[in-house]
Structure 1
């Protein structure tokens, strides 16, 4: 096939994907970082990323990279921004499609690939990152907050069964705020998103706290009620 002459003088760009992996360990929201394996900035902390191959989409590349670097697959993954500043990569012009992923750290900890020195960092205390990866993380936080204000994606960070104190801890860390214990429990239960279990978690007290599960059968009709928990969801972006 003869190429259209209009394409001959168009600048060629490299396309990459970068993945911000959010995890929750039961206390803190964290991100997964790796040591960069090539120059420039070799050995410095980086997001998990790589280039898009000729025969794959950006989403396919993101899933491939996550699996090869961390052993993770079948997890929540969402594209949230394209970063295209001309000078973002000092080697050559590279456009990066950014994704964020959500996992329960305790569920996937053993599958994390250690070949790239992958390590979890508190979202409030992570080290300096290469290129514009720090900007990627901060924007991903904002996108996560905005999405979590009216969707149930934060439950991707939790085990199948969880307590209300654990859920409150997650919401407080994601939104960087604090909630009154009684008000949070009352408002969360009023959403009708949770199914109370018979078992209790007694690891922190003799009285214990009941376990709950997300009501996956009816959550679509009730998920908008999460808005009751967030003070000003329209100011998150």
Structure 2
């Protein structure tokens, strides 16, 4: 191997940032934390942190998710999410603009995390408070505020959030990702309300039922019913082995 001088290359750090999405009160919400340290002290930001020297990216994302929110990522190869507020976790995109972090050159590998209706988060790390915020409220605020405004998200987190929301909105058209927002057993009506919250539209209940039950193995009846939504007992389902919705359910034009 030819001689190699690491000092010939500029050093930089790697972080993970998390777009954590859930549906609360029929609204798509994301987790934001108020930064307790510089830079951007006091500004809202996505949870995340630096990757340690002895961990890979997926492990770093799962660790930050647990440390800053109390959520546990489930195994992406498992057929169903783990109970007790488990979260679906997948890599979203990489962000490496030279000036994105005023401290030093930092490359961030963002991850998307999805979970059912979740309790109040617990702050940790360099965050001194945390909250669930409606996605549209944050994105509208980011579009209206300048980068230097105290109302803007820290770093380039508005762009990361926008990309994460678009990933979720597009992916539920053809995949089983929407079931990650549901408990292990759910009704078709509850699943429909997830689609409505993520897309921000109203869907016809009959057409929706026909589409999601028309793909063999997409939803599997559990044999149980529930009245938690009021009215007559509704059939309970769980996510099946089919991960693709065929034909896909394209989101309506808004």
- Which structure 2 residue ranges, 5 or more long, are not aligned? 74-86, 142-151
Mapped pair 1:144 → 2:144:
no
Q: In the aligned structure 1, how far is the partner of 2:32 from the partner of 2:66? A: 14
Corresponding residue for 1:135?
Answer: 159
What's the RMSD between the two structures over aligned residues?
2.4
Return the offset for 1:3: 6.0
- Which structure 1 residue ranges, 5 or more long, are not aligned? none
Structure 1 pair 44–212 and aligned structure 2 pair: CA distance change class (3 A) = same
**Cα contact 2:91–2:112 (8 A) shared by 1:** yes
> Comparing both structures, which one devotes a greater share of its residues to helix?
1
**Cα contact 2:115–2:180 (8 A) shared by 1:** yes
Q: In the aligned structure 2, how far is the partner of 1:104 from the partner of 1:175? A: 16
From 103, 114, 123, give the equivalent of 2:115.
Answer: 103
Return the offset for 1:167: 0.9
**Cα contact 1:22–1:101 (8 A) shared by 2:** yes
Q: In the aligned structure 2, how far is the partner of 1:215 from the partner of 1:58? A: 29
Mapped pair 1:63 → 2:62:
yes
**Cα contact 1:160–1:213 (8 A) shared by 2:** yes
Q: In the aligned structure 2, how far is the partner of 1:8 from the partner of 1:165? A: 59
Corresponding residue for 1:230?
Answer: 250
Mapped pair 1:113 → 2:125:
no
Corresponding residue for 2:44?
Answer: 45
Structure 1 runs of 4+ off > 4 angstroms? none
Mapped pair 1:153 → 2:173:
no
Q: In the aligned structure 2, how far is the partner of 1:13 from the partner of 1:29? A: 34
Mapped pair 1:210 → 2:235:
yes
Q: TM-score, normalised by structure 2?
A: 0.79
Mapped pair 1:10 → 2:35:
no
3-state SS in 2 of match to 1:225: coil
Deviations 1:49-103 (A, max 9, x none): 1111111222221111111111222332111111111111122211111001111
Mapped pair 1:36 → 2:35:
yes
Q: In the aligned structure 1, how far is the partner of 2:177 from the partner of 2:229? A: 26
**Cα contact 1:14–1:51 (8 A) shared by 2:** yes
Corresponding residue for 1:24?
Answer: 23
What number of residue pairs does the alignment pair up? 224
Structure 1 pair 78–33 and aligned structure 2 pair: CA distance change class (3 A) = same
3-state SS in 1 of match to 2:113: strand
Q: In the aligned structure 1, how far is the partner of 2:100 from the partner of 2:2? A: 34
3-state SS in 2 of match to 1:160: coil
Structure 1 pair 206–54 and aligned structure 2 pair: CA distance change class (3 A) = closer
